[in-house]
């Protein structure tokens, strides 16, 4: 189901897990937000008072191991990409995400638990038309041997991801996702984060990945996969990179209408391409969905990516 108007959650839902780097227990609650609010993280459990940070490209303060959001006083919430991917992937426009620790819980290393929480909370349509950022011309970024590009696309959002690892069980993989709630749920939401045992050992020595385990990560040694249950998809690693891209690009503040291509990329590249797009005001515009025509008395739920035609709303402004 897709909506021509903005959406939020009907109620709250909570998931509980551990932070992949801190290893500490953490609770995350997603809940309703007002029209045009976007995604707002509320960091609770701090001395003094709760602190809010908007999920936007401007709030990103680190991308080395995960996407970290913060403000002028420092980091507030890490590993934001999986819950953001679930919200954007399932067609949510506005949500409050309360976290009582420094990290979003890693859960099983995918977005499946957050999709389940969205299902539990339910989706409610709001009064305002849905807004989009439409990509008008290609924007490209190269970082070393990594390459990323956002370009115009006829309808909806499309992610094209290529990875290339020396490990014999990963190698070169490609995956393409035409984003819709149905495709996100079926194709990528269960794809888990992955890494090598040597990388995990190195991170442990640096005080990171303290919560990493076979329960929340795909782990490889030099020649084999160490998880006894095996892969969920043959190309699970590429699919997880697509999941990460959906979450990182949710930091645009509005759903994107465009195609994103990533070659040997990650959080750093995703953020760099999004930042380059938003910095070039000739490369995008904000448009909004026109209400879809439907028989009188029918529910306000429509098919089609945009729920009807789209029309320019106003100039570049995602504040």
Classified as helix, coil or strand, 109 is: coil
Model confidence at 317, pLDDT cuts 50, 70, 90, reads very low
Residue 308 has pLDDT above 80, yes or no: no
Residue 132 has pLDDT above 60, yes or no: yes
Residue 310 has pLDDT above 80, yes or no: no
Give me the pLDDT at residue 316, please. 40
Separation of alpha carbons 206 and 318, rounded Å: 37
Q: Are 121 and 12 in contact (CB under 8 A)?
A: yes
Give me the pLDDT at residue 1, please. 41
Give me the pLDDT at residue 299, please. 42
Give me the pLDDT at residue 171, please. 93
pLDDT in tens, 221-242: 988 999 999 999 999 999 999 9
Q: What mean pLDDT do residues 92-111 have?
A: 97
Q: Is 244 annotated as a binding residue?
A: yes
Domain edges within the chain: 5-288
Residue 194 has pLDDT above 50, yes or no: yes
Residue 243 has pLDDT above 60, yes or no: yes
Q: Are 237 and 110 in contact (CB under 8 A)?
A: no
Is there a catalytic annotation at residue 298?
Answer: no
Separation of alpha carbons 52 and 29, rounded Å: 14
Mean pLDDT, all residues of the chain: 90
Give me the pLDDT at residue 173, please. 96
Given the residues 267, 271, 281, 298, select the one marked as catalytic: 267
Tokens of 40: 């707002």
Dihedral of CA atoms 131, 134, 139, 141 in degrees, nearest 10, equals 30
H or E, element range at 271: helix 267-279
pLDDT in tens, 11-56: 999 999 999 988 899 999 999 999 999 999 999 988 878 999 999 9
Q: Is 240 annotated as a binding residue?
A: yes
- Burial (CB < 10 A; 0-12, 13-18, 19+), residue 72, is exposed
- Residues above pLDDT 90, as percent of the chain: 76
Q: Are 283 and 148 in contact (CB under 8 A)?
A: no
Model confidence at 282, pLDDT cuts 50, 70, 90, reads very high
Give me the pLDDT at residue 46, please. 87
When mean pLDDT is compared across 63-67, 277-281, 311-315, the lowest value belongs to 311-315
Give me the pLDDT at residue 205, please. 81
The answer regarding whether domain 5-288 maps to CATH 3.40.50.2030 reads no
Q: Are 151 and 258 in contact (CB under 8 A)?
A: yes
Give me the pLDDT at residue 293, please. 60
Task: Give 117-179 as a DSSP string.
Answer: HHHHH-EEEEEEEPEEEEE-S-EEEEETTEEEEEE--SSSEEEEEEEE-SSTTTSEEEEEEE-
Q: Is 82 annotated as a binding residue?
A: yes
H or E, element range at 202: helix 197-205
Give me the pLDDT at residue 220, please. 92
H or E, element range at 99: strand 95-99
Handedness of CA 97, 98, 102, 106 (dihedral sign): negative
**DSSP character at residue 292:** P
């Amino acid at each position: 189901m897709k909506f021509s108007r903005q959406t939020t959650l009907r109620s709250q839902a909570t998931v509980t897990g551990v932070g992949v780097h801190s290893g500490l227990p953490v609770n995350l609650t997603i809940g309703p937000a007002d029209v045009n609010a976007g995604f707002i993280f509320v960091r609770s459990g701090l001395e003094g008072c709760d602190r809010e940070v908007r999920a936007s490209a401007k709030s990103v303060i680190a991308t080395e191991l995960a996407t970290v959001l913060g403000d002028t006083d420092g980091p507030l919430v890490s590993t934001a990409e999986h819950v953001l991917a679930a919200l954007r992937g399932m067609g949510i426009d506005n949500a409050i995400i309360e976290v009582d620790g420094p990290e979003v819980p890693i859960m099983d290393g995918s977005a499946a638990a957050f999709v389940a929480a969205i299902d539990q909370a339910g989706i409610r349509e709001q009064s305002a038309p849905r807004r989009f950022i439409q990509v008008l011309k290609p924007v490209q970024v190269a970082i070393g041997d990594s390459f990323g590009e956002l370009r115009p696309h006829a309808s909806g959002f499309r992610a094209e991801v290529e990875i290339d690892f020396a490990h014999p069980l990963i190698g070169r993989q490609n995956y393409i996702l035409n984003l819709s709630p149905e495709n996100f749920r079926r194709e990528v939401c269960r794809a888990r984060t992955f890494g090598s045992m040597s990388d995990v050992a190195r991170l442990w020595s640096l005080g990171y990945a303290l919560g990493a385990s076979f329960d929340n990560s795909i782990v490889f040694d030099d020649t084999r996969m160490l998880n006894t249950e095996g892969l969920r998809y043959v190309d699970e690693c590429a699919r997880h990179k697509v999941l990460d891209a959906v979450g990182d690009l949710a930091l645009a503040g509005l759903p994107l209408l465009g195609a994103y291509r990533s070659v040997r990329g990650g959080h750093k590249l995703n953020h760099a391409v999004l930042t380059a797009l938003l910095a070039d005001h000739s490369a995008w515009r904000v448009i909004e969905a026109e209400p879809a025509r439907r028989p009188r008395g029918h529910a306000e739920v429509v098919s089609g990516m945009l729920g009807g035609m789209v029309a320019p709303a106003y100039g570049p402004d995602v504040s």
